[in-house]
Amino acid sequence: MSSLTLADVYRARQRLAGRVAPTPLVASASLTERSGVPVYLKLETVQPTGSFKLRGATNALAQLAQEGVRRVVTASTGNHGRALAYAAHALGIEAAVCMSALVPQNKVRAVAALGARIVIAGHSQDDAQIEAQRLVRKEGYAFVPPFDDARVIAGQATIGLEILEALPDAATLIVPLSGGGLFSGVAFAAKAIRPDVTMIGVSMARGAAMHASLAAGKPVPVDELETLADSLGGGIGLDNRHTFAMTRALIDDVVLLDEASIARGIVHAYREERLVVEGAAAVGIAALLDGRIGHIERQADSSDTAGPIVVVLSGANIDMAQHLRIISDN
């Protein structure tokens, strides 16, 4: 597993101070009523770039800037690229972002608007990764991984610190699961503070690479398919150094959702919580709506309190025309 320490996470929070503000933890009356235990939402949707990715990107670039690095490149399904471009602009660093043709155009435009060089390569996150590595070799960029990097993980882990400081008795954290940077970071910090906290990872059924890798016992390739949870797409890297081992050690359960469930999560967030969220952020809400969180089901046979629950809402960067169609159709 990674050599990441809790001290690294606290140092990351110091680097983020003045650059990335803590996000709200708000009670959800509707989900509390449905679940029978207190439910809170961690609103990473309010970040300036619309997702949690700003934490990891800022932590990584702040350290690279101190080392004299002036050009960085990454591969992204959209949100990490946007965060990297934002952080690079703030630090006066040149940024290039490689994305596949599957990345929604609203996310491509958002990255370009922040001044980053855009490179479209292939039809998968793996294709974008290959192109990013070519730029490292041929043009001298420094590569900033979207998730499998200790600096990036430490930045995302600051979410776990904020949750446990605001809600020390949190019993279950529900976190979107993709490459594992968000999940492993939040789980690492949370379990370092509260070893008994339950960590649930949620993903889409279509192309869930981390789930397939956990089942296989090693990183495996998975076809990247179109999904409402597009930010959760892509592989975890066959040479994964950090997030696979960390996720395997820290995860308590994985929930996979079909597309209809993800759509219901988006609709619920909008109609009941007054929040616009992308599909990847809606998966935690959807898992609760579907009754897929195990300890809630066990509550019927026990008088023990099974909460509070915290759902991490990872991002708001959904194409608004798509959002309107989903809301109208449901």
112: in domain: yes
CATH number for the domain including 317? 3.40.50.1100
1: in domain: no
Same domain, 45 and 61: no
196: in domain: yes
Same domain, 233 and 307: yes
Same domain, 95 and 228: no
Q: State pLDDT tens for residues 74-91.
A: 998 889 999 999 999 999
* Beta-strand relationship, 39-43 and 25-27: antiparallel
Which pLDDT band, with edges at 50, 70 and 90, does 102 fall under?
A: confident
Last residue within a domain, chosen from 143, 163, 190: 143
From 226, 232, 220, select the one nearest 181 (Cα to Cα).
232
Last residue within a domain, chosen from 123, 143, 163: 143
What pLDDT is attached to residue 306?
67
Q: State pLDDT tens for residues 254-278.
A: 999 999 999 999 999 999 999 999 9
For residue 123, the enclosing domain spans 53-143
Which pLDDT band, with edges at 50, 70 and 90, does 299 fall under?
A: very low
284: in domain: yes
What pLDDT is attached to residue 304?
45
What pLDDT is attached to residue 163?
98
What pLDDT is attached to residue 234?
84
Last residue within a domain, chosen from 105, 126, 143: 143
Same domain, 170 and 314: yes
> What average pLDDT does the segment 25-44 reach?
96
Number of domains in the chain: 2
pTM for the structure as a whole: 0.93
Same domain, 224 and 245: yes
Q: State pLDDT tens for residues 53-76.
A: 999 999 999 999 999 999 999 998
Same domain, 70 and 170: no
* Distance in Å from the first CA to the final CA of the chain: 42
Same domain, 62 and 155: no
CA atoms within 13 A on the CB side of 123: 5
Which pLDDT band, with edges at 50, 70 and 90, does 3 fall under?
A: confident
Same domain, 62 and 31: no
127: in domain: yes
Query: What is the secondary structure of 290-316 as a DSSP string?
Result: TT--HHHHHHTT--S----EEEEE-B-
Same domain, 158 and 259: yes
Same domain, 65 and 159: no
Same domain, 88 and 211: no
